[in-house]
Amino acid sequence: MGGDGRAAVGGVVERIVEAGIIAILRGLAGRDLERAVDALLQGGIEVLEVALNTPRALEAVSSLSRNLAGRALVGAGTVLTAEEACAAVRAGAAFLLTPHVDEAVIQAGQREGVPVLAGALTPTEIVRAYRAGSPLVKLFPAGSLGPRYLALLRGPLPQIPLVPVGGVDETNAAAFFEAGAAALGIGGSLVDRAAVREGRLEVLREKARRLTALAAEKRALRCPRGGEG
């Protein structure tokens, strides 16, 4: 990857961390997907992940990345192979997430010029993912061990930015940020499929507003602005 590619990857990583929340879209298609995305955007969400085990996922990545250019960052998740990684990037994915550490997938992302957030749970897996080229490591499934586990990992591994995913919701989001999360990936607890199908889109909007406000608050505490003088 040349200098321009590294700069592009760095820009995407910075945007994910700046946004703080990745909304995970799984099991929604067609009009339901459109309505869910509209509600999330109205609630302040700026980063979206389409899980590849969703029907017509690549079509969704393509249409969303095209229609939301300049408004939101669209990536693909549940990427299991290098072939899926390449297909997702061709469809327009700006970043990729995996549930596991696979050097072939990370290398495919590097060749295509997009960051891969590889899924890892143990210290060994986390270091392996980071050394293989994952600039942000997806801590998965984070909810099973909780914010305290993240805080303990940050002791020996402060240089590795971690993004908790799996079991993250409004009840523990603040604690994950306080434990040192670079960002959070939130799926079903934010993108409530039943609420979408029943037309209760305000549920998504309000959850998105609360979570993005929390992320902004934690970001401000992490990076205080200097005073005058």
The pLDDT value given to residue 133 = 97
What is the average pLDDT value for the chain, to the nearest integer? 94
Residue 28 has pLDDT above 80, yes or no: yes
Q: How many domains does the chain have?
A: 1
Residue range(s) defining the domain that contains residue 181: 3-220
Active site residue 49: yes
- Please give the average per-residue pLDDT across 4-27, as a whole number: 92
The pLDDT value given to residue 117 = 98
The pLDDT value given to residue 1 = 63
Active site residue 218: no
Q: Is residue 225 part of a domain?
A: no
Residue 227 has pLDDT above 70, yes or no: no
Residue 228 has pLDDT above 80, yes or no: no
Q: Is residue 229 part of a domain?
A: no
Q: How confident is the model at residue 6 (pLDDT cuts 50, 70, 90)?
A: confident
The pLDDT value given to residue 220 = 85
The Cα–Cα gap between 192 and 91 comes to 25
Q: Determine phi and psi for 104, rounding to 5 degrees.
A: -65, -40
- Please give the average per-residue pLDDT across 177-205, as a whole number: 97
Q: How confident is the model at residue 4 (pLDDT cuts 50, 70, 90)?
A: low
3-state per-residue secondary structure call for the chain:
CCHHHHHHHHHHHHHHHHHCEEEEECCCCHHHHHHHHHHHHHCCCCEEEEECCCCCHHHHHHHHHHHCCCCCEEEEECCCCHHHHHHHHHHCCCCEECCCCCHHHHHHHHHHCCCEECEECCHHHHHHHHHHCCCCEEECCHHHCHHHHHHHHHCCCCCCCEEEECCCCCCCHHHHHHCCCCCEEECCCCCCHHHHHCCCHHHHHHHHHHHHHHHHHHHHHHCCCCCCC
Residue 171 has pLDDT above 90, yes or no: yes
Q: Is residue 155 part of a domain?
A: yes
Q: Is residue 81 part of a domain?
A: yes
Q: Is residue 53 part of a domain?
A: yes
Q: Determine phi and psi for 133, rounding to 5 degrees.
A: 120, 15
The pLDDT value given to residue 229 = 34
Q: Determine phi and psi for 74, rounding to 5 degrees.
A: -115, 130
The pLDDT value given to residue 8 = 85
Would you tell me how many other CB atoms lie within 10 Å of the CB of residue 155? 8
Catalytic residue among 49, 84, 112, 218: 49
Of the chain, the percentage scoring pLDDT greater than 70 comes to 95
Burial class (CB in 10 A: 0-12, 13-18, 19+), 27: middle
- Please give the average per-residue pLDDT across 55-71, as a whole number: 96
The pLDDT value given to residue 141 = 97
Catalytic residue among 84, 138, 207, 218: 138
Sign of CA dihedral 10, 15, 17, 21: negative
The pLDDT value given to residue 176 = 98
Q: What is the pLDDT of residues 67-111, one digit of tens each?
A: 999 999 999 999 999 999 999 999 999 999 999 999 999 999 999
- Please give the average per-residue pLDDT across 151-175, as a whole number: 98
The pLDDT value given to residue 61 = 98
- Please give the average per-residue pLDDT across 143-152, as a whole number: 97
Closest of 119, 157, 131, 106 to residue 24, by C-alpha: 119
CATH number, domain with residue 43: 3.20.20.70
Burial class (CB in 10 A: 0-12, 13-18, 19+), 191: buried
